Amino acid sequence: MPKLFLHKGREQPVVRGHPWIFSGAIQRVEGEVEVAGVADLYDSSGLWLARGCYNPKSQIRLRILTWREEAIDKSFFARRLSHALERREQSLSGLTNAYRLINGEGDFLPGLVVDRYGDYLVCQFFTAGMDGLKGMVIDALRHLFPRMSIYERSEGSVREEEGLLPSVGPLSGDEPPELVVVEENQLKFLADLRGGQKTGFYLDQRENRILLHSLSREKAVLNCFSYTGAFGASALKGGARQVISVDSSRPALETARRVLDLNDLAAAADDLIRADVFSYLKNCPRQFDIVVLDPPSLAHRRGDVAAASGSYKFLNLHALRVLRPGGLLLTFSCSQHIPQELFQKIVFGAAVDSGKRMQILKKLGQPIDHPVSLHHLEGEYLKGFLLGVLD
């Protein structure tokens, strides 16, 4: 097992619980230094501090798994997974059969995401160290969920930065069908586990969909970046008189239509619009009681923040222009590099330019199954606001 020694004075973030050790904090490494795996961390005097996943090719050299001298084995993962499952069952068992079981650093398992969709588990191994521990994770999941199939969706820019190729396919049991039916708040949704966004569905917007459901009675709703129509279905179930859903993806809109049919929700053929949301909002001649803005991440890297800020302002400015007096805006950013304070400033700038007076009725964010470590606030990627327009 490699031993990583920190420069003098660089141990405080570790002692305070931050799970990332960057290359610049490391003075030297002893042992097998060229292969990713489990490694121990020491301060400059040789005092043991923590144990985690090491990758010599990553800027983040170590991602801490534990601050105790314990074995990283199947029993370790079984304990962490069981604890996470207990919390989810306490809070979500009566509401849904689709939720995030493991949320990386938020569940003290950096580099790992596990989502449940009914009888299927979808895993993502983002880091080289966690990828090397895949067998132990799968064994622990099989023990905890003996009747469930396990599918892998390990892909994306984080794996590329870790020097890993994409890895997609069954890990245990049957391959999922084209679309899996899941239930949430007395609605049925369709999740594409093999090729859809994220691991197949936007599980992180569950509580915000419930909020929209409660606000929609007799309202005209515009659902921007609608994907497979989960916000739209929630609004219609809540009694909206009309929901216009706009997305650039034809397959996503076709799935949205199937979701409406699955729930016996009525919508006209032209209520599902294939269009670029930026252009649609800029040229929209209608007014709405509620607008939902849930764009994909617009800042994948720190260097994207300036351009993304301009895009978020454009979207919010034009969303406000199509809101009726007294209307509501649910606006979101899922860009990790756009902190809530900056997002609030962007939305404020849009409000000023629109000439409308706004209220923050509620700050919105991640649901209970997407926890954030208090020691790693970088994990708080989803932020949003419910805003009211003054009459």
Residue 137 is assigned to a structural domain of this protein? yes
> In the prediction, which pLDDT does 185 show?
93
Q: 325: domain CATH number?
A: 3.40.50.150
> In the prediction, which pLDDT does 88 show?
96
Please tell me whether residues 133 and 215 are part of one structural domain.
no
Mean confidence (pLDDT) of the chain: 96
Q: 101: domain CATH number?
A: 3.30.750.80
Residue 120 is assigned to a structural domain of this protein? yes
Residue 61 is assigned to a structural domain of this protein? yes
Tens-place pLDDT, residues 295-325 = 999 988 889 999 999 999 999 999 999 999 9
> In the prediction, which pLDDT does 34 show?
84
Q: What amino acid occupies position 223? A: N
**Range 181-192 average pLDDT:** 97
Tens-place pLDDT, residues 206-242 = 999 999 999 999 999 999 999 999 999 999 999 999 9
Pair 60, 41: CB distance under 8 Å:
no
Tens-place pLDDT, residues 326-358 = 999 999 999 989 999 999 999 999 999 999 999
Residue with tokens 């400015």: 317
> In the prediction, which pLDDT does 263 show?
97
Residue 191 is assigned to a structural domain of this protein? no
Catalytic residue list contains 334: yes
Please tell me whether residues 209 and 329 are part of one structural domain.
yes
> In the prediction, which pLDDT does 93 show?
84
Q: How confident is the model at residue 15 (pLDDT cuts 50, 70, 90)?
A: very high
How distant is the alpha carbon of residue 303 from its chain centre?
21
Please tell me whether residues 171 and 206 are part of one structural domain.
no
Please tell me whether residues 165 and 209 are part of one structural domain.
no
Higher pLDDT, 374 or 301: 374
**Range 360-381 average pLDDT:** 96
Please tell me whether residues 231 and 264 are part of one structural domain.
yes
Please tell me whether residues 296 and 237 are part of one structural domain.
yes
Q: Which of 53, 123, 224, 334 is catalytic?
A: 334
47: left (phi over 0), alpha (psi -120 to 50) or beta: beta
Residue 344 is assigned to a structural domain of this protein? yes
Q: Between the CA of residue 82 and those of 102, 116, 355, 381, what are the distances in Å?
A: 10, 14, 51, 25
Please tell me whether residues 60 and 147 are part of one structural domain.
no
275 has pLDDT over 90 = yes
**Range 171-197 average pLDDT:** 96
Domain that holds residue 132: 74-177
Please tell me whether residues 227 and 265 are part of one structural domain.
yes
Residue 213 is assigned to a structural domain of this protein? yes
Please tell me whether residues 105 and 241 are part of one structural domain.
no
Total structural domains within the chain: 3
Higher pLDDT, 193 or 35: 193
Please tell me whether residues 136 and 79 are part of one structural domain.
yes
> In the prediction, which pLDDT does 108 show?
97
Task: Please report which residue ranges of the chain form alpha helices under DSSP H.
Answer: 12-15, 74-92, 128-132, 134-144, 157-161, 206-215, 230-237, 250-262, 277-283, 305-321, 340-354
**Range 180-191 average pLDDT:** 97
Tens-place pLDDT, residues 67-88 = 999 999 999 999 999 999 999 9
Q: How confident is the model at residue 391 (pLDDT cuts 50, 70, 90)?
A: confident
Residue 291 is assigned to a structural domain of this protein? yes
> In the prediction, which pLDDT does 40 show?
97
Please tell me whether residues 169 and 236 are part of one structural domain.
no
Please tell me whether residues 269 and 385 are part of one structural domain.
yes
Residue that terminates a domain, selected from 19, 34, 66: 66
Residue 208 is assigned to a structural domain of this protein? yes
